[in-house]
Amino acid sequence: MNIANFPWLTTIILLPIAASLLIPFLPDKDGKTVRWYSLVVGLIDFALIVWAFYSQYDLANPNLQLVESYSWVPQLDLNWSVGVDGLSMPLVILTGFITTLAMLAAWPVTLKPRLFYFLMLAMYGGQIAVFAVQDMLLFFLVWELELIPVYLLLAIWGGKKRQYAATKFILYTAGGSLFILVAALTMAFYGDTVTFDMRAIAAKDYALNFQLWVYAALLIAYAVKLPIFPLHTWLPDAHGEATAPVHMLLAGILLKMGGYALIRMNAGMLPDAHAYFAPVLVILGVVNIIYAALTSFAQRNLKRKIAYSSISHMGFVVIGIASFTDLGLNGAMLQMISHGMIGASLFFLVGATYDRTHTLMLDEMGGVGQKMQKMFAMWTTCSMASLALPGMSGFVAELMVFVGFSNSDAYSPTFKIIVVFLMAVGVILTPIYLLSMLREIFYGPENKELVSHEVLVDAEPREVFIIACLLVPIIGIGLYPKILTQVYDATTIQLTERLRDSVPTLATQKASTLSFRAPAIGN
């Protein structure tokens, strides 16, 4: 068989799903066999992802690669169509990386291990499918199917309010998904041809009013998942009740689905409408950064504090998408991948700390660093990455968004000054609440009641290994960001050129109401 014609993406998507179906038949009493089986499957699938990227992906090609298309339900014009480009390939790699580590993080799970790892493997394939499928109807289906494992993982293995958190999650995300279905059907039937192929849909010549309505519908759906204020309230509740491996999937992958879809569909398919909505996105991004940072500062629950911190960091993604510059869009992509690893590391540490202290309230902690020195070191390093310390990936990503938006010629100087100032305020707030959090957990006098009732053992090798696996790329990208940006640079440049072509004709019509001026693009 010619290796170039091998169905890499189909295999990568279906392997963990098929493997999950074998779990009920494995001879296992205490869950040990199931967890080793799941971890090996995850490692094999991740190895396939890395090999396909290394051997088949061309960094200089901005178009879809590893393309496969098979007729599935011809009566509905539903095709199994998959492919990756610079927008999706890095997120496919991130998905394999984070999900495999999440299965290792789930080692202590003893409640219904067969069902737990079945859901983890099924979710593995579903998440990759979201980033790889190139058919709008198929995208809606995998987007919906991916919600079911998350709901069950929250509802069965969550905390005391797990049913409330799981129900709120499914209501928000499934409700948002309806807008995807409506938009997909509307775009598919627009014009003389009916098609669900994303490339064919993007090539259609849509009327401006049509674009604006469809863009608004998709924005609602993806604002829920990203999440963007005020559709964010499900996330703190979900994180507040989730276990460590589910935390890692929520922060590391699920939030990135919203950012990816916002770039792929809103910006990529509806560029004229994007020119109108871009200032709105910038404002929403600023609100995310400031509001979530201030709310995180006020939280006394450790999980909710990190959850609001995640919402704040995703505000930079929204601003980068709306920057109309290569650097800003590259920064948005880098921020998604960087936050995927940093968020996963912090939430894993939250779970590890809770396993020892059996409390999430900062008021009940204090001085535990004296007995958990390795945990203290890991917490400090990951927190430094989250507050964008130079040398870490978060610093490079946020700097790229800052500079990219500052240099954008699509906005008036006054608008840019205000936005950059507010972004800077958010950056200043981040180290305040993160360093304050570290002080309350690890510094100060010991909580005698906590120490006398709990065995505060230090990090075990498995936990150190997971954090080390996450910190290596975080620091590596921070020191040499080109190792990642070259993966998607060609695609983002092509997309930015298309977006900028839409600005001059649209900006002049609404300059006064949107604070958006027509730049001399292309001159």
User: How many other C-beta atoms are found inside a 10 Å radius of the C-beta of residue 205?
Assistant: 6
Task: Give the pLDDT of residue 2.
Answer: 64
DSSP state of 290: H
**In sequence order, which ranges of 226-270 are alpha helices (DSSP H)?**
234-241, 244-249, 255-261, 268-269
Compute, in degrees rounded to 10, the torsion defined by CA atoms 247, 251, 252, 257: 130
**CA angle (229 as vertex; 228, 235 as ends), nearest 5:** 70
What size, in residues, is the chain? 523
**In sequence order, which ranges of 393-460 are alpha helices (DSSP H)?**
393-406, 413-442, 448-453
Task: Give the pLDDT of residue 49.
Answer: 95
Task: Give the pLDDT of residue 77.
Answer: 74
Instruction: Give the three-class secondary structure for 207.
Output: coil
What backbone torsions phi and psi does residue 383 show, to the nearest 5 degrees? -70, -40
DSSP state of 135: B
Task: Tell me the C-alpha distance between 435 and 384, whole Å.
Answer: 9
- Tokens describing residue 436: 């304050």
| Closest-CA residue to 522 (of 496, 501, 502, 505) | 501
pTM, rounded to two decimals: 0.91
pLDDT tens, N- to C-terminus, the chain (523 residues): 567 678 989 999 999 999 999 998 888 777 788 999 999 999 999 999 999 999 989 888 888 889 998 888 777 778 899 999 999 999 999 999 999 999 999 888 888 889 999 999 999 999 999 999 999 999 999 998 888 899 999 999 888 888 998 999 898 988 888 999 999 999 988 888 888 888 889 888 888 899 999 999 999 999 998 889 888 888 888 888 888 899 899 888 888 999 999 999 999 899 989 988 999 999 999 999 999 999 988 888 888 999 999 899 999 999 999 988 899 999 999 999 999 999 999 999 998 888 888 888 888 887 777 778 888 899 999 999 998 889 999 899 999 999 999 988 888 889 999 999 999 998 899 888 888 888 888 886 777 776 665 667 777 899 999 999 999 999 999 999 999 999 999 999 999 888 888 776 434 434 333 344 434 333 3
- Cis bond before residue 227 (omega within 30° of 0): yes
DSSP state of 262: I
3-state secondary structure 102-119: HHHHCCCCCCCHHHHHHH
For residue 185, give Cα distances in angstroms to 77, 136, 195: 12, 8, 9
Contact between 308 and 236 under an 8 Å Cβ cutoff? The reply is yes
